Amino acid sequence: MYSHTAIILLLILLQIGIMVLTFTYLGNYSTYMNGVISLLSFITAIYIFNEKGNPAFKMTWILFVFLVPVVGVGFYLFTKAGIGTKYLGARLEKLRVETEPYMQQNEYVVHAMKGGRVANANLSHFLYNQVGFPTYGNSQAQYFPLGDDKFPVLIEELNKAEKFIFMEYFIIGEGYVWDTVLEVLRKKVKEGVEVRLMYDGTCSISLLPYEYPKQLREYGIQCKEFGPIVPILSTSQNNRDHRKICVIDGKVAFTGGVNLADEYINKKVRFGHWKDTAIKIEGDAVQSFTMMFLQMWNITERQPEDYAKYLTEKQPGFSRKDGYIIPYGDSPFDHENVGEEVYFHILNHAKKYVHIMTPYLILDNEMIDALTRAAKGGIEVQIIMPHIPDKPYAFYLAKTYYEELIAGGVEIYEYTPGFVHAKVFTSDDDTATVGSINLDYRSLYLHFECGVFIYRNPVVRDIEKDFQDTLAKCQKVTMTEVRNRSTFVKIYGQVLRLVAPLM
């Protein structure tokens, strides 16, 4: 954050300085200097064009490089040469290999899955063979339509902890929620429970004291920030830990969109009513969340981890009544856009409907095509968005996609009471995913994320019911409304769309 801003400001000053110097003192050489800058921009653009990656990122970078050459080239080099990001990628790959023995696939479960929807068995194959996430049976799920519903259950489960508590959150904010959780964690430490807490370094900017981990360690809580923000020097600011994971004794895990701050349970009103969701997993599938947490925790550790210490015995046999659960993570360094692939899979293989809740709608061409192709093929595609946004610029940007989506048959609704922070897909009464992954570039390509894919588990009915209950509190966005937006809103959104991949 800080480093982004500081580097851009320095590069802008450098660009202005070169222009002033050229026209004031080096007028006779301006042609040569402009030629050198243009050549540098052209070479950079060729390199960007031939890089692997999403075309939307490439085009935005190329536009940036040609419009403001010194700023664009300098910032691109700064972003791509980050030592911190390269280290993260290498370290995570090593940790993935270390945890591989504890993430083995039960082939009988996958074989049984093929007896249902073969396409979902194919997704299972992809998630295990490409990124190491097994499919589990013998796992139960409880869905929470609101953070208000999740919070008391979280506290209840934390109080039951006997061996360990692992917590990883994007946001921790001081207030009722965190005070309540912290009180339980301090009590559990005194009882001999191992407690590890990790939160994203952006919290230190405004939500928590800069040296807060040190204070928590004095309570006996192992605590660290992921990617602490170091002014000027931070190189991993694009790759934030946006995950929400809590694992208790290897028996219970929570994930979803709910962070540890008061607005997530409507204890503090910020943008009207805060609609968020979460899910609790019990049984064999918890093991993947345990390993996901330990992978991230050990990025900065030097001592070997005793992974086996945190495993729980798997349930014998296989019960089809629980269906199939696949916890998955997404990393910007695994060369697979896991979250987006799960969303594509649901859209491409739906037979009746796909229902979506998301706080942001900042889409690449592939996602627009997937949404509209499903709708044009007769699939009911409905998206619930906030009516009161937390980030106005993101809201205006999202509205630039409305016309194309509605014209393609996608139905868009806005949650009238306030802000939707949920990240949910449901399809055909048998398939769903709940997690931390927004429909925007940052979640799909840049951040560390997580979710859980669910097939034929009874909880899918609860997720779909929540969608319908939420839909009843929404207003449908019409094409007339979209076309009657003010000229300012249209232009502002279209300008933002030029730089959407870099926002």
Mean pLDDT for 205-217 is: 89
Give the C-alpha separation, 489 to 503, whole Å.
Answer: 18
Please give the pLDDT value at position 85: 64
Give the C-alpha separation, 292 to 246, whole Å.
Answer: 11
Asked: is 85-117+142-319 a CATH 3.40.50.300 domain? The reply is no
DSSP state letters, 483-503: HTS-HHHHHHHHHHHHTGGG-
Task: Please answer whether residues 181 and 172 qualify as being in contact, where contact means their C-beta atoms are separated by less than 8 angstroms.
Answer: no
For residue 321, the tally of other CB atoms under 10 A from its CB is 10
Question: Cα separations (Å) of 263 from 254, 272, 368, 418?
Answer: 18, 10, 31, 12
372-404 residue pLDDT tens: 999 999 999 999 999 999 998 899 999 999 999
| Residues 375, 143, 447: CA angle, nearest 5 degrees | 65
Nearest alpha-carbon partner for 226 in 452, 488, 448: 448
Per-residue confidence band for 178, with pLDDT thresholds at 50, 70 and 90:
very high
Cα 335–chain centre separation: 16
53-98 residue pLDDT tens: 777 777 777 777 777 776 667 766 766 655 556 678 889 999 999 9
Q: In what order do the strands lie in the sheet with 139-144?
A: 139-144, 278-283, 252-256, 245-248, 164-169, 194-200, 222-226
Give the C-alpha separation, 79 to 83, whole Å.
Answer: 10
Nearest alpha-carbon partner for 464 in 427, 416, 415: 427
Q: Is the dihedral of CA 53, 54, 55, 58 positive or negative?
A: negative
Statement: residue 27 has pLDDT above 60: no
Using DSSP bridges, classify how beta strands 194-200 and 164-169 pair: parallel, antiparallel or unpaired: parallel
Using DSSP bridges, classify how beta strands 139-144 and 222-226 pair: parallel, antiparallel or unpaired: unpaired
CA-derived radius of gyration, the chain: 24
Number of H helices, E strands in the chain: 20, 17
Mean pLDDT for 326-349 is: 95
Give the C-alpha separation, 478 to 467, whole Å.
Answer: 20
Query: 165 CB contacts (<8 Å, ≥6 apart)?
Result: 158, 185, 188, 193, 194, 195, 196, 246, 247, 248, 249
Q: Which amino acid is at 152?
A: P
Give the C-alpha separation, 423 to 333, whole Å.
Answer: 22
Q: Which amino acid is at 339?
A: G
The pTM assigned to this predicted structure is 0.89
CATH of range 338-502; options 1.20.1740.10, 3.40.50.720, 3.10.20.740, 3.30.870.10: 3.30.870.10
Domains 85-117+142-319 and 338-502 are alike in CATH topology? yes
Please give the pLDDT value at position 316: 76
User: Position of tokens 């005793």?
Assistant: 306
Per-residue confidence band for 28, with pLDDT thresholds at 50, 70 and 90:
low
User: Position of tokens 């979460």?
Assistant: 278
Q: Where are the domains of the chain?
A: 2-81, 85-117+142-319, 338-502
Taking all residues of the chain, what is their mean pLDDT, rounded to a whole number? 88
For residue 37, the tally of other CB atoms under 10 A from its CB is 16
Query: At residue 318, what are phi and psi to the nearest 5 degrees?
Result: -150, 125
